[in-house]
């Protein structure tokens, strides 16, 4: 069904507030989740509300955290999230990074001890909206085999990048370092459809086309994607003194414990490197160049990263955001959460 954006945000905020988040944290969290749904990134939108609500209600997210930003150098800082909501902590840390980059040219800000932070281009877009370039990376739970391995070690460790153009558009790259998101395998399971053998492996570490036999995901581009997810793990885990690799907590392990996740924001002020107007103009030129590349057979147009969201946003703004009926029914109900995630295996049916 279709739900107007403001109505969806109100419903999500209400549910998270009922679960225990303060009104202002619930408001920010709802904004980040609606950002994802609005772009068709439904795997990181309202679909996650019952999970977040269960974790909040069971104590695994600090509802009254002592957020503290420690500036550790002219261009660096650590945002201590105190077990608080990752959607909120990562946003507040990006505000700090933006202020530093405006003043000192670059900023590297880590967030430590937070919960899951959703679709992370929300944060890089904040910087691009202020004429800055941003990269953000974060830890996620171990579900991916290292190249050549048969056991999961790294998370789907995503990377987001955003850069502003001269006409209000921006480039937005936002990707997990796995071939496919876990949500796509769950979807194939629900429909009993086979999956390509490039997505995941079974218990022996062999590629599988049976979504029910999946025991780990595969990194993008073999050893290269594996190397990228390792880089994310080092910079948003080890660098911040946090659990890393397979020590990162699972999304569905003990829901009463804080997740201790990390995220790193890197923000660059182009005006410290070149003329800002020329920079933005050249980003526009790049976008136009890409759009003008002759498409390959089967493609109607080459899109720049993030342009694929435009048509979805336009449709949803006009007709409301597409939401699965069950999710809507939950959001309008009195149920706060369903008790379905605690200690669930990440690969369980
Ligand atoms: P995806 O595969 O749907 O898209 C990846 C990138 O490709 C995007 O930048 C998209 O704009 C671009 N793209 C897609 N189609 C395109 C086309 N036709 N032309 C040009 N560019 C195109 O994204 P993925 O990897 O499934 O990630 C989904 C979300 O999951 C992201 O928002 C990510 O931040 C989030 N995520 C969050 C995690 C967390 O722990 N917080 C963990 C893993 C993923």
pLDDT in tens, 282-332: 999 999 999 999 999 999 999 999 999 999 999 999 999 999 999 999 999
The CA 174 to ligand 1 mean position distance, Å, reads: 4
* Same domain for 123 and 268: yes
Residues 313 and 289 in one domain: no
Q: What is the DSSP letter of 247?
A: G
Question: Looking at the structure, do residues 166 and 187 belong to the same domain, yes or no?
Answer: no
Write the CA distances from 117 to 163, 187, 290, 296, 319, integer angstroms: 21, 22, 31, 36, 27
Q: Ligand 1 in contact with 86 (CB < 6 A)?
A: no
Q: Which of 44, 116, 265, 337 is catalytic?
A: 116
Can 116 be counted among the known catalytic residues?
yes
Torsion of Cα atoms, 293 then 294 then 299 then 305, to 10°: 0
The answer, yes or no, to whether residue 342 has pLDDT greater than 90, is no
The model's pLDDT over 96-132, given as tens digits with 9 standing for 90+, comes to: 999 999 999 999 999 999 999 999 999 999 999 999 9
For ligand 1, atom 11, name the residue with the nearest CA: 306
CATH number of the structural domain spanning residue 233: 3.30.1370.60
Q: Are residues 95 and 135 in the same domain?
A: yes
The pair phi, psi for residue 306, each rounded to 5°, is 100, -20
CATH number, domain containing residue 331 = 1.10.1530.10
pLDDT at 256: 96
Give me the pLDDT at residue 55, please.
97
5 & 143 share domain: no
Structurally, the chain folds into a number of domains equal to 3
Ligand 1 centroid to residue 121 C-alpha, Å: 9
- 272/339 same-domain check: no
**pLDDT value at position 186?**
80
Task: Find out whether the beta carbon of 181 lies less than 6 Å from any atom of ligand 1.
Answer: yes
The pTM of the full predicted model, rounded to 2 decimals, is 0.97
Q: What is the CATH number of the domain that holds 201?
A: 3.30.60.50
Where residue 190 falls among pLDDT bands split at 50, 70, 90?
confident
Ligand 1: which of 36, 142, 181 to mutate, most ligand atoms within 8 Å of CB?
181
140 lines ligand 1 (CB under 6 A): yes
Domain that holds residue 295: 65-174+221-306
Residue 269 has pLDDT above 90, yes or no: yes
Residue 345 confidence (pLDDT): 82
Q: Specify the residue for token string 């809507």.
A: 328
Query: 178: pLDDT confidence band, cut at 50, 70 and 90?
Result: very high
Shared-domain flag, residues 152 and 39? no
Same domain, 141 and 53: no
Which residue spans within 50-132 are E strands per DSSP?
68-73, 76-80, 106-114
Q: What is the pLDDT of residue 182?
A: 82
Q: Are 48 and 192 members of one domain?
A: no
- Please tell me the residue having the least CA distance from ligand 1 atom 12: 305
- 302 ligand 1 Cβ < 6 A: no
Question: 305 CB under 6 A from ligand 1?
Answer: yes
Cα(123) to ligand 1 centroid in Å equals 14
Query: What is the Cα–Cα distance from 142 to 139, expressed in whole angstroms?
Result: 9
Residues 134 and 43 in one domain: no
Say if residue 348's pLDDT is above 80. no
Question: Which pLDDT belongs to residue 31?
Answer: 98
Pocket test for ligand 1, best of 176, 259, 287 (most atoms within 8 A of CB): 176
Residue nearest ligand 1's atom 9 by CA = 173
Considering the chain, what percentage of its residues have pLDDT values greater than 70? 100
Do 135 and 161 belong to one domain? yes
Q: What is the pLDDT of residues 60-76, one digit of tens each?
A: 999 999 999 999 999 99
Q: What is the phi-psi region of residue 201: left when phi exceeds 0, alpha when psi lies from -120 to 50, beta otherwise?
A: beta
Shared domain for 260 and 120, answered yes or no, is yes
CB 60 less than 6 A from any atom of ligand 1: no
Any ligand 1 atom below 6 A from CB of 262: no
């Amino acid at each position: 069904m279709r739900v107007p954006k403001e109505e969806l945000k109100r419903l999500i905020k209400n549910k998270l507030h009922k679960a225990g988040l303060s009104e202002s944290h619930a408001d920010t969290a709802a904004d980040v989740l609606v950002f994802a749904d609005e772009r068709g990134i439904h795997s990181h939108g309202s679909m996650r509300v019952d999970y977040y609500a269960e974790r909040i209600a069971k104590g695994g997210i600090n509802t009254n955290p002592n957020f503290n930003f420690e500036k550790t150098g002219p261009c660096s800082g650590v945002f201590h999230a105190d077990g608080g909501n990752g959607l909120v902590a990562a946003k507040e840390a990006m505000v700090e990074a933006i202020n530093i980059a405006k003043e000192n040219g670059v900023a590297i800000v880590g967030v430590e001890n937070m919960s899951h932070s959703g679709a992370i281009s929300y944060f890089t877009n904040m910087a691009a909206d202020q004429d800055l370039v941003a990269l953000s990376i974060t830890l996620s739970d171990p579900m991916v085999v290292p190249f050549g391995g048969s056991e999961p070690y790294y998370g789907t460790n995503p990377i987001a990048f955003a850069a502003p153009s001269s006409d209000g558009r921006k480039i937005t790259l936002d990707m997990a370092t796995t071939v496919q998101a876990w949500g796509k395998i769950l979807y194939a399971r629900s429909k009993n459809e086979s999956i390509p053998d490039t997505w995941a492996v079974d218990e022996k570490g062999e590629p599988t086309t049976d979504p029910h036999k999946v025991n780990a995901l595969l990194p993008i581009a073999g050893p290269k994607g594996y190397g990228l997810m390792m880089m994310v793990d080092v910079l948003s885990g080890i660098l911040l003194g946090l659990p890393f690799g397979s020590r990162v907590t699972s999304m569905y392990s003990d829901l009463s414990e804080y997740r201790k996740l990390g995220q790193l924001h890197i923000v660059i002020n182009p005006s410290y490197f070149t003329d800002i107007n020329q920079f933005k103009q050249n980003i526009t030129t790049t976008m136009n160049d890409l759009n003008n590349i002759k498409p390959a057979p089967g493609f109607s147009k080459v899109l720049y990263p993030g342009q694929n969201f435009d048509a979805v946003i336009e449709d949803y703004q006009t007709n409301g955001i597409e939401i699965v009926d069950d999710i809507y029914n939950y959001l309008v109900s009195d149920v706060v959460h369903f008790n379905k995630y605690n200690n669930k295996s990440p690969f369980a049916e």
